[in-house]
Amino acid sequence: MSENSSAPLVLILCTGNSCRSQMAEAFLRQAAGDTLRVASAGSKPSGYVHPLSIEVMKEVGIDLSDARSKSLEEFLDQDVETVITVCGNADEACPAFPGQVRRYHWGFDDPAHASGDKEGQMHIFRDVRDQIERVFSAYGLGRKDAVKQA
């Protein structure tokens, strides 16, 4: 999570917290800088970050090797300003957080379900990564600009 403890907390939720939410967390953190605290979690955490997520993020200069799969329960007692779900199951299972101001659902296909050889799977992981990067980088830059203008 980002270091600025006074910044609003944005929580990105997915079911397993192993692929999409981890990528989104990294891109949003990179784009927003210290204007947001960013975390990700899962409604049913897998307990690991998918190795192909780590690999495709490394291709764009982001290291997820120390990331861990977390439960949304770790955040129930925190002041979450914005919740963003990136899969339908997490959207349905998402609780309301005290003080929560915003909630968005931006769904992405789950690359963990990719089949075939490794190169085919990597292609799917890259496509999803690039979609997530476009959405979360734009959101993060927008939030950063709003803080500058305030």
Q: Say which of 9, 10, 14, 114 is annotated catalytic.
A: 14
* Bridge partners for 82 per DSSP: 10, 102
Q: Both tokens of residue 45?
A: 């955490």
Residue 41: which H helix or E strand, with range?
strand 37-42
Q: How far apart are CA 36 and CA 81, in angstroms?
A: 10
Alpha helices in the chain (DSSP H): 20-32, 51-59, 88-93, 118-149
Catalytic position from the list 28, 38, 87, 112: 87
Q: Is 94 a catalytic residue?
A: yes
Residue 19: active-site member: no
Catalytic annotation, pick one of 94, 114, 128, 135:
94
Catalytic residue status for 87: yes
For 42, list phi and psi in degrees, rounded to 5: -130, 150
Q: Which residues are known to be catalytic?
A: 14, 87, 94
